[in-house]
Structure 1
């Protein structure tokens, strides 16, 4: 075991429960006065290089439908994806594994959605926006290193935002043509979030890539960013696309 052989392999070889192997390993370290440190591949703590494109996408997902639980004995990042979009569930898991490969990643089925979870306290290092309460009740601002990544990979960030709190819909309207009403349909992208800060991050990034957007209020709540101009929708179709 001191050679680093995993508990699972030792347990299978000896025919004993993995928990027993874990206890033996713990007692062995205790006798030798060795302090156990869980393996860590946090890019911020180890200065390890990591996949910036995957991080930009994951940052968008986190700001939309993600949260971090950080307690003394429980630390994990959760991204929630509707069952209707299995491709997004796969992408969320892939992005987590690319940013930090060592932590365990699991899926937990809930009513109508899947929770993709990655277990390590170091997600708070990667997402310093974590804090008590709801995101729209506190300031959300990117740190300089995060903004640098978003500036380098704006479409990945936009894609993450729209894959979490956005959608592509078909709107319609009618016009009178030759004295008769005629129906016209056109695609539109919408991003909805109660946080003024997160909406500004979205709109500022859209502007940098040449996408024209407007604020669409429902009632008195200006919580929606709309992209409806034909050229801008074409850009969104090329780089973001509908959920799948």
Structure 2
């Protein structure tokens, strides 16, 4: 995390016409921090006072949020979530919304619990929809906790983790992978036919697929798998497959089927 003076110097370099990369080299601040500061300024989000309750607004940041719940919720947000402004822009209130299918009541319960763990002072609502529910929570600090928010769909813009998010994902990769698979993934039995002289034989084995149209989000998923030594392959343009027996067994330790 960087202090206020570093942030102000960094933004001044951008105002002089320097690129993010050039300004990053001169100031020593990371490019992801530059993008976050630039977005917050463009969105009219003023830096919060040091006494703010948000675990990411103070400098240096505190660690009051549950890291496992946060990284799980980050995975859900990158998959099936969105953050939008609520009401008057001056109030700077944001709504985090995550859509969960009615078929997975356990997932609905886990998403609700994670959201409450990250923002325990804020109300979490479950709103019924056609065949699904919307789980939402209002807070002034979602923009701080999830700097990936922005205009348009996620696959149409750059998705990059801030330095502090990268550290959490590194330390809690199973929770992050679980959130991504619970949002845009599935575990199923794959059926394969093997011809033989005595007649075709059928085999079945479990596998995981993760499908997301964002190149950046798929890259975050595969990097987390690499970090845990879990083998994967690119099945098609938008789908990552985990099919080796030892890799599936490793995912089963902390993911398993949706319920």
Q: Tell me the TM-score range normalised by the shorter chain.
A: 0.7 to 0.9
Which of 191, 199, 202 is equivalent to 2:221? 202
Asked if 1:191 corresponds to 2:210, the answer is yes
CA distance in 1, matches of 2:97, 2:86: 14
Contact 1:82/1:112 (CA < 8 Å) preserved in 2?
Answer: yes
Q: Which has the higher strand share?
A: 1
Asked if 1:83 corresponds to 2:102, the answer is yes
CA distance in 1, matches of 2:99, 2:216: 21
Which of 193, 205, 208 is equivalent to 1:174? 193
Count residues in correspondence. Answer: 203
Shift of 1:42: 1.5
Asked if 1:67 corresponds to 2:82, the answer is yes
What is the TM-score of this pair, normalised by structure 2? 0.75
Contact 1:41/1:100 (CA < 8 Å) preserved in 2?
Answer: no
CA distance in 1, matches of 2:215, 2:160: 11
List alignment gaps of at least 5 residues for structure 1.
1-36
Contact 1:40/1:102 (CA < 8 Å) preserved in 2?
Answer: no
CA distance in 1, matches of 2:55, 2:87: 22
Contact 2:184/2:211 (CA < 8 Å) preserved in 1?
Answer: yes
Which of 224, 241, 244 is equivalent to 2:256? 241
CA distance in 2, matches of 1:86, 1:128: 29
**What residue number does 2:246 align with?**
231
Shift of 1:60: 0.3
What is the aligned-residue RMSD (CA, Å)? 1.6
Structure 1 residues 2-17: aligned runs within 5 Å = none
CA distance in 2, matches of 1:92, 1:71: 21
**Other structure's SS at 2:201 match:** strand
CA distance in 1, matches of 2:77, 2:195: 45
List alignment gaps of at least 5 residues for structure 2.
1-48
Report Cα offsets for 1:85-124 as digits up to 9, x if no partner. Answer: 0111111111111111111110000011111101112111
**Other structure's SS at 1:79 match:** strand
Shift of 1:176: 2.5
Show structure 1 runs of 4+ deviating over 4 A: none
CA distance in 1, matches of 2:94, 2:172: 28
Rg larger in structure: 1
**What residue number does 2:56 align with?**
44
**What residue number does 1:16 align with?**
none
**Other structure's SS at 1:239 match:** coil
